[in-house]
């Protein structure tokens, strides 16, 4: 017994913390794994929906990672995708109901995209790649880490899109009126989804310039 407790890892061991920090940069779900791009385009016109979306994804991802990890030994290989989908769908519906109950306006802005978390590639990707083969606690951390990495990129994109596209941050005007008087104008293209894609591209560009080993040969 005592030997077993010695082998048990501490909850916040270096290896476990790596699960959280790695997706923030070197293994980022959006810029490196290129998952979940569609929602990154759809919800990042303003900061508020982007943040709510990130939190929703985090809750869904962490919770379904844990549930699937708990079930992992009981799921037959052949129907595992269906089981994973059922778990995700349950979580998504819960989150959707909570959003509708407490932040109705933003829930309306996010419209179908909360529902579409089900099809967000990050979720299936992490469930398949991690939760199916790991214990609940690492799976939980992995979910939190990937959701953080996803949210980080979302928030960066949304920050620039809202600032340049609408001149606001959290719907508060930050670009002084004097600029507008001088002839400054908001960039209408920033509001349109293509610009989110280009912003993602720029982030990937900067990231690979700083971490040379991410560049594909």
Partner 1 sequence: MKALRKFIDKQKPHFQKGGKFHWLESTFDGFETFLFVPNTVTTKGAHIRDSIDMKRTMIVVVLATLPALLFGMWNVGYQHFLSLGETTDFWQNIGYGALKIVPIIIVSYAVGLGIEFYFAQIKGHEINEGYLVTGMLIPLIVPPDIPLWILAVAVAFAVIFGKEVFGGTGMNVVNPALVARAFLFFAYPGDMSGDKVWIADKADTFSGATPLGNALVGNFNHFHSFSDMFMGYIPGSVGETSTLMILIGAAILLFTGIASWRVMVSVFAGGLIMGLLFNWWGANEYMNLPAYYHLVMGGFAFGAVFMATDPVTSAQTSRGKYIYGFLVGMIAILIRVFNPAYPEGMMLAILLMNVFAPLIDHYVVESNIKKRLKRLKVVVNS
# chain residues binding partner 1, by CB under 8 A: 11
Measure the CA dihedral 123/126/128/133, to 10°.
-140
| Residue 41 engages partner 1 in binding (rule: CB under 8 A) | no
Q: Where are the beta strands (DSSP E) in the chain?
A: 168-169, 172-173
Give the shortest CB-165-to-partner 1 separation in angstroms: 9
Q: Are 196 and 161 in contact (CB under 8 A)?
A: yes
| Residue 133 engages partner 1 in binding (rule: CB under 8 A) | no
Q: For the window 185-204, what string marks contact with partner 1 as x by the rule CB under 8 A? A: x-xxxx-x-----x--x---
| Residue 34 engages partner 1 in binding (rule: CB under 8 A) | no
| Residue 121 engages partner 1 in binding (rule: CB under 8 A) | no
CA distance 163 to 71: 44
| Residue 153 engages partner 1 in binding (rule: CB under 8 A) | no
Nearer Cβ to partner 1 (120/199): 199
Nearer Cβ to partner 1 (13/209): 209
Taking CA atoms, 84 is separated from 46, 60, 80, in Å, by 31, 12, 6
Which residues would be at the binding site for partner 1 (CB under 8 A)? 183-185, 187-190, 192, 198, 201, 205
């Amino acid at each position: 017994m005592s030997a077993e407790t010695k082998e048990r890892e501490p909850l916040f061991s270096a290896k476990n913390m790596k699960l959280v920090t790695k997706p923030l940069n070197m293994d980022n779900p959006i810029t490196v794994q290129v998952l979940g791009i569609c929602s990154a385009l759809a919800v990042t016109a303003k900061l508020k929906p982007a943040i709510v979306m990130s939190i929703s994804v985090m809750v869904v991802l962490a919770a379904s990672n844990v549930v699937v990890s708990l079930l992992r030994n009981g799921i037959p290989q052949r129907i595992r995708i269906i089981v994973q989908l059922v778990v995700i769908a349950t979580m998504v519906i819960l989150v959707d109901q909570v959003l509708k109950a407490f932040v109705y306006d933003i829930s309306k802005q996010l419209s179908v995209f909360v529902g579409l978390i089900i099809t967000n590639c990050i979720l299936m990707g992490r469930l398949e790649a991690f939760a199916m083969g790991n214990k609940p606690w690492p799976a939980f951390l992995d979910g939190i880490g990937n959701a953080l990495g996803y949210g980080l990129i979302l928030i960066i994109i949304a920050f620039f899109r809202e600032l340049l596209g609408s001149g606001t941050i959290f719907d508060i005007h930050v670009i002084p009126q004097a600029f507008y008087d001088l002839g400054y104008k908001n960039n209408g293209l920033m509001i349109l989804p293509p610009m989110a894609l280009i912003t993602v591209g720029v982030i990937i560009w900067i990231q690979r310039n700083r971490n040379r080993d991410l560049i594909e040969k």
